[in-house]
Amino acid sequence: MTYEELMNKAIEVSKNSYSPYSKFSVGACALTESGKIYCGCNFENSSFGMTICAERNAIGSAIADGERKIKAVAIYSPNQDNCLPCGACRQVMHEFSSNDKEFDVIVKNGKELKIYKLIQLLPEGFNL
């Protein structure tokens, strides 16, 4: 699975976004260390705080399937170039990453992919 393919899956799932309130669609696709992929989109609620981000939806599906180690997440929004994960999603990525210095967060910048390391986006993630 190349990062182009991972991004294409994120683009595809962003079309299922349920975002009638913000009208901001997001799709995400997580790649596990075992090579499996899990996609998710954002879904909102009339009680706004219950909204679930695309990244957490994708990672939640991986967890529900018994996966625990994620190594990359591609994120796409048709509404914004370079759509980066919110702080909450960065912390969730940190929870399921073996190494934040290796974990790739892939976004789309025009036609190009831009790759960040999780450590850049969340330098001091919380641990218990």
| Residue closer to ligand THU, measured from CB, 8 or 79 | 79
How far lies 60's CA from each of 1, 57, 92, 94, 115, in Å?
20, 5, 10, 14, 22
Catalytic annotation on 102? no
Using the rule CB under 6 A, is 61 a contact of ligand THU? no
Smallest separation (angstroms) from ligand THU to the CB of 22: 4
For ligand THU, which residue of 1, 4, 22, 101 counts as binding (CB under 6 A)? 22
Using the rule CB under 6 A, is 53 a contact of ligand THU? yes
Token look-up 């913000």 returns 22
Strands 112-117 and 104-109: antiparallel
Helix (H) or strand (E) segment spanning residue 75: strand 70-76
Smallest separation (angstroms) from ligand THU to the CB of 21: 7
Q: How many residues bind ligand THU (CB under 6 A)?
A: 13
For ligand THU, which residue of 1, 4, 15, 86 counts as binding (CB under 6 A)? 86
* Partner residues linked to 107 by β-bridges: 75, 114
Buried b (16+ CB within 10 A) or exposed e, 26-41: bbbbbbbeeeebbbbb
Which residues are catalytically annotated?
55
Which residues are near ligand THU by CB under 6 A?
19, 22, 24, 26, 42, 44, 51, 53-55, 85-86, 89
